[in-house]
Structure 1
């Protein structure tokens, strides 16, 4: 029996890892959150998306996918049932220990594919510290903000398309995980209150903005939009890896 070649470190034996590591020094680290995502999408949406995007990218460039950080700091959403939180200081230490272990085994390029805004500043700090070793390069894809730059001609509802569990997020999930989307329950829910001071950083609870966990019009989501958003995003990430990090795309490896 021939085993399917996997890019996930957790699916490799230690001897398989030794052989695979000879092919790449690029590790992708997915991270997300465990929080409310509307009536119609699963609590693990952020993590599910980051893992799948990591898998697609890794397959194209022969990278290894390291441990997934499934839970982030979702304190602002904790009033909604099922939401879980890892405090920032604990998340940072866990991630630091993870990347130092990977560095020990020879990885030089760390690509963080992250789908939760709360993780962004912590990953930034880790990346800066890692790059104190001049042989190491780090980059982060803040996925839901990243796709805003690649949605022209796809989304219909403006900035709210990229709000929580709205048009863009719903479309991506409909493409990547259609079996987990309960479209009988999706809603069009604008924010409950207007923000007249968007230039000021504020810290409202999520329930002050939405009753359902959706902000925006999820009903505009389609699988076709999701496919276009994913393809554009992945192509852009691969372009970065090819042009900035000189990682060659592998054609027809599987």
Structure 2
């Protein structure tokens, strides 16, 4: 079914009309990488796109092009993982933003589900904000969920590790048909990180053999629904209180 918010599904006439109603564009970004033996390689971008769609239904936003692939070099020993260079991602994202800015968008919300994309998007935003009269915000979605999980998750910090309790629960809620629960696994990291205070960059294959870090088997659709609902409520509150976007689909002056 055709969406009324996806730019890629609009004719230029439809876009021209819709653009008169909003200054807000949502840009999904993610990755194309191993996500355990039970979740699809596109988990990151699938979640980012769906969250963007659910959000746009409530705040009268247009969803711009999705950047499906990120920098996933640390996972590239797992079959199917695709990675692009940071400079390639930055150039593509920057060109996307510049094109959207040309058509009059002033508010850019990045819904991002891949940690490697965070600093690159931040660089683009920093450059834009030096000279442009626009507003930008980024939701680093998987890390964002850590602030909203009280009373939901069971396995502590590892609940938010790769393809673990939180991520699996979200996928069970958003894309149950893509979750292969016959193959989910409980695999804590097989090496202890003795230096969490120092950034170092091991390959994921040295930490997990399955691509899962943590216990995916305690995930439930109900947990995923609660996490998604809380995340949408929080983002909508930000857009309403900080940027003046009303929930009833029109904008008030800030």
Distance (Å, rounded) in 1 between the aligned partners of 2:2 and 2:202: 47
**8 Å contact kept, 2:170–2:227:** yes
Deviation readout 1:180-233 (Å, 9 max, x if unpaired): 000000000000100011000001000000000000000010000000000000
TM-score (norm 1): 0.97
Q: In structure 2, do the counterparts of structure 1 residues 242 and 21 end up closer, same or farther at CA, with 3 Å as the change threshold?
A: same
Q: In structure 2, do the counterparts of structure 1 residues 115 and 133 end up closer, same or farther at CA, with 3 Å as the change threshold?
A: same
Aligned-pair distance for 1:4? 5.3
5+ unaligned residues in a row in structure 2: which ranges?
250-254
**1:1-254 residue pairs with structure 2 within 5 A?**
6-250=4-248
5+ unaligned residues in a row in structure 1: which ranges?
none
TM-score (norm 2): 0.97
Distance (Å, rounded) in 2 between the aligned partners of 1:77 and 1:95: 22
Deviation readout 1:107-165 (Å, 9 max, x if unpaired): 00000000000000000001111112342000000000000000000000000000000
SS in 2 for 1:28: strand
Once superposed, which parts of structure 1, at least 4 consecutive aligned residues long, lie more than 2 Å away? none
**8 Å contact kept, 2:2–2:9:** no
Aligned-pair distance for 1:248? 1.2
Aligned-pair distance for 1:250? 2.3
Deviation readout 1:38-96 (Å, 9 max, x if unpaired): 00000000000000000001110010000000000000000000000011000000000
Deviation readout 1:4-52 (Å, 9 max, x if unpaired): 5510000000000000000000000000000000000000000000000
- Equivalenced residue count is 249
Distance (Å, rounded) in 1 between the aligned partners of 2:93 and 2:180: 33
SS in 2 for 1:132: helix
